[in-house]
Structure 1
């Protein structure tokens, strides 16, 4: 029964990690037009050397890519040349990240459900 609990734990940790990733993707998309905003990402790590394969998230990282330079002399943040710094969020990349996170979340959910069905079938066999 311990293996079933390990499977539940691994799947749940994967779902938590992908949910955090989706939150950051949504935040990036929402701030795509915010001047000076840097794209956020979150790395995944194995929980520990003695871990059963669980996933943990690291600290939020800011994308070091250059901020876009936008020309709009009427913008309140524009400098003397009429430019201001936009964000470094790429909407295409964010959409791809959201799809990948969604599919990974669904895969972990299916693993969780399969483990639940298998453990239920095992309990039914043991009751007989």
Structure 2
């Protein structure tokens, strides 16, 4: 058993939130990726978090997988685009910017909260060590 399990628990949270931040930033950066109608649209990435046991009696979280969004995307009429088909349509991803921004904020806050837990635990353990030194 680890002497300081809080670091493992919070560290697992940091890792999952980091993957979530990466997925959301990838989705936002590809929100205007245009493809021909004969190809699949950019598929949004969604992180699936899964509870895990880091050691006996100590839980944590891990990335259980990635779910991909729709390959159909949405058809947009843009006859001047070089990828436009004979009808003037191109394919864009079906990604909602408002939803992605909300997810970005939630992931960022979760990431920060887990880092704050690590900071508080480090401070508490340091204070406990200093108490022992002054005794």
TM-score range, shorter chain: 0.7 to 0.9
2:46 counterpart of 1:41: yes
TM-score, normalised to structure 2's length? Answer: 0.84
Structure whose residues are more often strand by fraction: 2
TM-score, normalised to structure 1's length? Answer: 0.88
Structure whose residues are more often helix by fraction: 1
Which residue among 102, 106, 110 is the counterpart of 2:108? 102
Runs of 4+ in 1 over 3 A off after TM superposition: 48-51
Q: Residue 58 of structure 1: CA displacement?
A: 2.1
Structure 2 gap segments, 5+ residues each: 35-40
Q: Residue 86 of structure 1: CA displacement?
A: 0.7
Secondary structure of 1:32's counterpart equals: coil
Counterpart position of 1:25 = 24
Structure 1 residues 46 and 16: CA distance shift in structure 2, 3 A: same
Which residues of 2 match residues 42-121 of structure 1 at below 5 A?
42-48=47-53, 50=56, 52-64=58-70, 66-121=72-127
Tell me if the contact between 2:42 and 2:71 (Cα under 8 Å) persists in the aligned partners.
Answer: no
Q: What's the RMSD between the two structures over aligned residues?
A: 2.1
Structure 1 residues 2 and 48: CA distance shift in structure 2, 3 A: closer
Tell me if the contact between 2:52 and 2:61 (Cα under 8 Å) persists in the aligned partners.
Answer: yes
Tell me if the contact between 2:49 and 2:63 (Cα under 8 Å) persists in the aligned partners.
Answer: yes
